[in-house]
Amino acid sequence: MTERNTGVVWKVGLNGSKKRVGSVPNAVWSKATQDKGGLLGVAVSPTWNGTTDQDVFFMETTATDNRVVRMKFNGSTLSGYTPVLTGIVRDTQHNGGTIALGPDRYLYVATGDAQQGRLAQKKNSLNGKILRITKTGAAAPRNPFGTRVYSYGHRNPQGLAWDGSGRLWETEIGQSAWDELNLIKPGRNYGWPTCEGHCSAAGMTNPKFVWAVDHGGAPAQIAVADNVIYASTTSTPSTRSSSSECPGAWTASSWPTSSSTAGACSTVPRCSRPATS
Ligand SMILES: [Ca+2]
């Protein structure tokens, strides 16, 4: 588990115990600007054994960039510090930050647009992308453009997880209308900043599910268990209700959400449509 503000890394046991194992150098976070950077994602090598394979990967915001770094973990402490991929534009906001090792054992890196939406559409930019790289930071084999870019047109992607069929899902924080759950396919353009949520612009891939940005909390991590996607959100959903503004054929419904202030449940609108392949 990583701590954004401090750079500290914890090893958490299944029984809830936690032990500090070290920290990642160079991660910076500013309270004044309420940075959404700092120490971000973590991914452990799928073949980690503490001896011949000690690789653990982190994504962090430094004073100059967002970067992916590798450290060694021997089972009790972190050591070493090797930048793997540097130069991803940083900002106080929209840093993305999740990294994950895919079923193909390549690193997938979710990068934000650093509040420069045009970067998400620039295929030669590392920002506003899902990158697919090797453990040394090179473009992974068979990437769609021959670069590190796997998909583009992302605003501030946060969650990455694969389902039982090996399909990659992603959550993404929208601007003012829609947060998104996307099914990620290589080379696809997920729309930002031309589209937020569902749209009909040519060449854009629409999300599989959206919810209003103040009606579900900003999405963070996702996980798939028994082919159910679980998404965590980072803020208390608003109970402010409004008639749904669902796009296209999407339908309005509601979901229950607990209210931390009232200790009761209320319902808020969402939009949904049947899942498609
Ligand atoms: Ca989108």
Pairing outcome for strands 178-184 and 168-172: antiparallel
Instruction: Determine the pLDDT at residue 127.
Output: 98
Instruction: Determine the pLDDT at residue 263.
Output: 29
Domains, the chain: 8-243 (2.120.10.30)
Report how far ligand 1's centroid is from the alpha carbon of 46 (Å): 30
CB-hemisphere CA count at 13 Å for 146?
0
Instruction: Determine the pLDDT at residue 203.
Output: 96
Report how far ligand 1's centroid is from the alpha carbon of 242 (Å): 22
Consecutive 10-residue averages of pLDDT for the chain (277 residues): 96 95 96 90 96 98 98 97 98 95 97 97 98 98 98 97 96 91 98 95 95 78 92 61 44 43 37 47
Instruction: Determine the pLDDT at residue 211.
Output: 85
Instruction: Determine the pLDDT at residue 15.
Output: 95
Report how far ligand 1's centroid is from the alpha carbon of 206 (Å): 6
* Maximum pairwise Cα distance, the chain: 57
Instruction: Determine the pLDDT at residue 270.
Output: 52
Q: Which residues pair with 132 in a beta bridge?
A: 108
pTM of the model: 0.85
Instruction: Determine the pLDDT at residue 239.
Output: 40
Q: Which residues pair with 171 in a beta bridge?
A: 159, 181
Counting DSSP H helices and E strands in the chain, the numbers are: 1, 18
Is-contact 51 72, C-beta < 8 A? no
Report how far ligand 1's centroid is from the alpha carbon of 29 (Å): 27
Using a CB cutoff of 5 Å, list residues around ligand 1, an ion. Answer: 190-191
Report how far ligand 1's centroid is from the alpha carbon of 101 (Å): 23
Report how far ligand 1's centroid is from the alpha carbon of 250 (Å): 16
Report how far ligand 1's centroid is from the alpha carbon of 3 (Å): 28
The Cα 180–Cα 178 span in angstroms is: 6
Instruction: Determine the pLDDT at residue 246.
Output: 46
